[in-house]
Amino acid sequence: MATVLASGRSVVDDLAGRLREGIRTSGSLVILAAEASYFAATDIVARRFSWSEFLLQAWFMTRVSLLPTILVAIPFGVITSVQIGGVANQIGAISFSGAVNGIGVLRQGAPLVTSLMIAGAVGSAICSDLGARTVREEVDAMKVMGINPVQRLVAPRVVAALLVALLLTVVVAMAAMTTAFVMNVGTGNVSAGTYLESFVSFSQPTDLILAELKALIFGFIATVVAAHKGLTARGGPKGVADGVNQAVVLSVILLAVVNVALTQVYVMLVPSGVA
């Protein structure tokens, strides 16, 4: 006999319900992503894109995420340089620490730190804003007036998130790589020329392309998830708070899965790179 939960439902029914809800959420996310992309592209081409909303959201995203992102990037560079420097010193490969530090930060660290900051700081703000509009029935009022909320609210935020993610990735990479450089060269483990020469010798233009591509995809996913949870918020302030929590958790999970997939694809397509 199936185990019965406190709610009176069996475990099988509960799992089936969660599975159906997950499928519905996945479908809704895909639809919202397609609609936001369509409206953003068509509005820009037709010159009716809400540039004022775009600039407002881009400034807001930069303001709330720039300083926390830098503050996270600096200790990330310290940890990376200490760990990699210690292992490289043990195996006698300290001269290659610049390449390992730089490429690791560029390929993995910079886009991941940026995406987590966007999912945490920016995504939570987007979800709470759209959620508050939803529970106050402002979104329903827009629909009654013939205004598509995805076109008016979501599309400018998606485009703004793409731009901010690209710029923040460069900032994170520079902050983390500069910190790693100072830690390795400042402690006398390796000379500045050797450190920079190893990075220049092993790094490739595709490393920067991969980092920016990851930033675009991660920023897009985090924004779409936050917008979806905000537009589907129900139940007043508690529903908005639950939506914010769900948006951050779901974004982090999706970003981790997509990061693994992109990294594997890159390694298969560019086998000559340093994985």
- Residue 159: the pLDDT is 92
Rounded to whole angstroms, the Cα distance separating 39 from 16 reads 35
- Residue 269: the pLDDT is 77
From residue 26, how far is each of 98, 169, 190, 214 by CA, in Å? 41, 27, 49, 20
- Residue 224: the pLDDT is 92
Mean pLDDT of 83-106: 70
202-210 CB contacts, 8 Å cutoff, 24+ apart: 202/96, 202/99, 202/103, 202/274, 203/99, 203/102, 203/103, 203/106, 204/270, 204/273, 206/266, 206/270, 206/273, 207/103, 207/106, 207/107, 207/273, 208/106, 210/106, 210/107, 210/262, 210/266
- Residue 108: the pLDDT is 75
- Residue 95: the pLDDT is 66
Better-scored residue on pLDDT, 220 or 177: 220
Mean pLDDT of 8-19: 70
Give domain status of residue 56, yes or no.
yes
Number of domains in the chain: 1
Give domain status of residue 64, yes or no.
yes
| Residue 1 pLDDT class (50, 70, 90 cuts) | very low
Inter-residue contact 101 to 83 (CB < 8 Å): no
Mean pLDDT of 243-265: 85
Give domain status of residue 91, yes or no.
yes
Give domain status of residue 13, yes or no.
no
110-135 confidence digits (pLDDT tens): 887 887 888 888 888 888 888 888 88
**pLDDT at residue 7 is higher than 70:** no
Give domain status of residue 127, yes or no.
yes
Domain that holds residue 249: 23-268
184-212 confidence digits (pLDDT tens): 777 766 777 777 777 777 777 777 888 88
**pLDDT at residue 5 is higher than 70:** no
Give domain status of residue 18, yes or no.
no
Give domain status of residue 5, yes or no.
no
Give domain status of residue 8, yes or no.
no
**pLDDT at residue 88 is higher than 70:** no
pTM of the model as a whole: 0.83
Better-scored residue on pLDDT, 191 or 149: 149
203-251 confidence digits (pLDDT tens): 777 778 888 888 888 889 989 999 999 888 888 888 888 888 888 888 8
